[in-house]
């Protein structure tokens, strides 16, 4: 139904974790995704770039079960998860830090983190993992008794990531972590993301800031009006003239 | 002075009952952003359940401590089930529809219950009010001076039951895993689901909890009023709704403060002006509060997200 996807560069070999095939999503009469296919391997960081309205957020939402797929198939570790709801995917290792951070401003930082571990019963390990989160983002420890709504934008993003990690995910979905943040804060967050990824957590990252995303990711997909139009190794996409023109403003 | 004290006591006694009902409005609004207009009528059904249980127990048993416990347990349990069914079959299918649809459904359920219970077929009680049995035999517990201030046993008991239930609720909402999940759902149920929280179950449990509290409150009200009628839910429900709005709907401590204020205002109007003015002043008080603080006393006026 669509033109073949242009593929650039070599993909490093990872064992498959998430596979999306021909995913379609509709909002009423509007078709947001027209058959998106992509893969994320175990331990891989994959970036999804594209303009506003290209379908990046819809893809993440469908993968995490927030949106129903109109067609297509999503598998996580070989098991079909297409029809599962968001809360059923968390115990299978999915964590989604949604667009606009999605923290609970009416709860304290501590309570937000505890909700990240909502399904876990291993209290002692949760405590350890929370400490781990505090070493990633020390500012959260200082503010653990504060209402999350009083945090700055950067701190809220850190909280969203720390909270997502507390569910002990295999796959972390991140929607625009750099949105509205100062460059230094963004840098801190991306450095931490790479650290997290290096511990074996796979990441599927949606970003408007293509430069940032493709630099950090092993592999990238370019979305345009609900379709994947290009794919390739992060560095290869960064060097491609088309990507540079369309998404890096050159 | 002693008159003032007496009015304070009476006002607090009815205010705590309003508070229990108001908490149900505010909790359901918290998780669903729905004004559950059927809430008062669920309370009324609970009172009839208590009424039927009292009769089944008989005159002796209904006045014993265990009898009262059974009456409350049946009414609160029965209402929890009713609340569950209403949520499951009336509201849940409309969850993703425009909010007005659910609101109109709530009004429909309210009328179905309050007018359905006026029918005189089968187990339905018929339109005329009935005397509620004296499950707590009225006794004067404290008398100051020459009957200047009288405190009845049912006032104290009702106050203690209401405060205990409110304390339990406070603990549940702010100190338990369920409460944390409930507060997360109340902020945004989609994000809550991303934490692995089964949002449908949390919403159902919230309905059951608020309906059970309403049944408890309804029984206390019926004991105070010594009567039960199919329309009591509309009346008490409306008052409690006003209390929840005064406190700031969606805010748990706000509902309690709003209800206590409303109880006191009504009592003072009856005591110092005329009882016919009571409802007018109650609603006037609501308008006054909303003029000064549109979100209620403890509510925040949320800026619309764009």
Over residues A166-199, the pLDDT tens digits come to 999 999 999 999 988 899 999 999 999 999 999 9
- Across the interface, which of A90, A91, A118 has its CB nearest the CB of B181? A118
pLDDT at B120 over 50: yes
What's phi and psi for A21, nearest 5 deg?
-125, 120
Spatial separation of the C-alpha atoms in residues B17 and A87, rounded to whole Å: 37
Is A215's pLDDT higher than 60?
yes
Confidence class of residue B253 from pLDDT cuts 50, 70 and 90?
A: confident
User: Residue B302's pLDDT is what?
Assistant: 57
What pLDDT does A45 receive? Answer: 97
pLDDT band at B306 (very low <50, low <70, confident <90, very high): very low
Helix (H) or strand (E) holding B184: helix B177-187
Residues in chain B with CB shorter than 8 Å from the CB of A87 are 193-199
Judged against a pLDDT cut of 60, whether residue A52 lies above it is answered with: yes
Residue with tokens 């098991």: A79
Contact B152, B142 (CB under 8 A): no
Least confident of A74-78, B108-112, B121-125, B199-203: B121-125
pTM of the entire predicted model: 0.88
Is residue B196 within 8 A of residue A90, CB to CB? The reply is yes
CA distance B226 to B182: 36
Calculate mean pLDDT across residues B214-219.
Answer: 96
Judged by DSSP in three states, B112 sits in helix
pLDDT value at residue B141: 86
Q: Which two tokens stand for residue B131?
A: 């005397």
- Which chain A residues have a beta carbon less than 8 Å from that of B198? 87
CB pairs under 8 A between A and B: 61
User: What per-residue confidence (pLDDT) applies to B136?
Assistant: 87
Measured between CA atoms, how close is A243 to chain B, in angstroms? 31
The Cα of B128 is separated from the nearest Cα of chain A by a number of Å equal to 46
Whole-number pLDDT of residue B304: 46
A151 and A143 Cβ atoms separated by less than 8 Å: yes
- B280's CB contacts (< 8 A; 6+ apart) are none
Min Cα separation B193/chain A (Å):
5
Average pLDDT of chain B, as a whole number = 91
pLDDT on residue A3: 62
Which residue from A65, A85, A115 is facing B195, i.e. has the nearest CB?
A115
């Amino acid at each position: 139904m669509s033109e073949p996807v242009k593929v650039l560069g070599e993909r490093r070999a990872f064992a498959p974790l998430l596979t999306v095939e021909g995913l379609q999503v509709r909002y009423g009469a509007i078709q947001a995704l027209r058959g998106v296919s992509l893969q994320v391997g175990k331990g891989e960081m994959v970036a999804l770039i594209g303009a506003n309205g290209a379908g990046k957020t819809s893809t993440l939402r469908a993968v995490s079960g927030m949106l129903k797929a109109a067609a297509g198939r999503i598998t996580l570790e070989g098991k079909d998860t297409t029809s599962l709801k968001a809360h059923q995917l968390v115990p299978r290792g999915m964590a989604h830090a949604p667009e606009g951070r999605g923290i609970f401003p009416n709860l304290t930082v501590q309570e937000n983190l505890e909700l990240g571990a909502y399904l876990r019963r291993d209290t002692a390990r949760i405590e350890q993992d929370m400490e781990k989160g505090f070493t990633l983002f020390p500012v959260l420890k200082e503010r653990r008794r504060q209402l999350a709504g009083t945090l700055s934008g950067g701190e809220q993003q850190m909280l969203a990531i720390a909270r997502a990690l507390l569910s002990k995910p295999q796959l972390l979905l991140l929607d625009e972590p750099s949105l509205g943040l100062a460059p230094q804060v963004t840098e801190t967050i991306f450095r931490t993301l790479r650290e997290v990824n290096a511990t074996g957590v796979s990441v599927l990252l949606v970003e408007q800031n293509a430069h940032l995303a493709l630099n950090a990711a092993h592999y990238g997909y370019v979305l345009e009006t609900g379709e994947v139009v290009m794919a390739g190794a992060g560095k290869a996409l960064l060097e491609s003239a088309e990507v540079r023109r369309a998404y890096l403003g050159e | 002075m002693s008159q003032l004290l007496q009015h304070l006591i009476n006002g607090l006694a009815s205010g705590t009952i309003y508070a229990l009902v108001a908490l149900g409005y505010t909790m359901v609004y918290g998780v669903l952003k729905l004004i559950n207009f059927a809430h008062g009528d669920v309370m009324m059904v609970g009172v009839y359940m208590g009424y039927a249980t009292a009769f089944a127990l008989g005159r002796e048993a209904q006045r014993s401590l265990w009898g009262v416990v059974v009456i409350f347990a049946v009414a609160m349990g029965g209402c929890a089930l009713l609340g569950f069914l209403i949520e499951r079959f009336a509201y849940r299918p409309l969850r993703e529809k425009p909010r007005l649809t659910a609101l109109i459904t709530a009004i429909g359920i309210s009328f179905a219950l309050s007018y359905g219970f006026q029918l005189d077929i089968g187990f339905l009680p018929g339109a005329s009010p009935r005397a509620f049995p004296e499950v707590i035999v009225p006794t004067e517990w404290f008398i100051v001076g020459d009957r200047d201030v009288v405190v009845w046993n049912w006032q104290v008991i009702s106050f203690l039951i209401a405060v205990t239930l409110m304390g339990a609720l406070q603990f549940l909402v702010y100190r338990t895993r369920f409460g944390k999940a409930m507060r997360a759902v109340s902020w945004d149920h989609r994000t809550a689901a991303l934490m692995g929280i089964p949002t449908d179950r949390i919403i159902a449990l919230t309905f059951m909890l608020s309906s059970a509290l309403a049944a408890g409150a309804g029984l206390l009200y019926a004991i105070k009023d010594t009567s039960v009628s199919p329309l009591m839910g509309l009346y008490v429900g409306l008052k409690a709704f006003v209390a929840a709005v005064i406190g700031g709907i969606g805010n748990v401590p706000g509902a309690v403060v709003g209800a206590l204020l409303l109880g006191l205002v009504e009592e003072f109007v009856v005591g110092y002006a005329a009882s016919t003015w009571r409802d007018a002043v109650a609603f006037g008080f609501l308008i006054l509060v909303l003029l000064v603080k549109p979100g209620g006393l403890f509510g925040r006026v949320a800026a619309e997200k764009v």
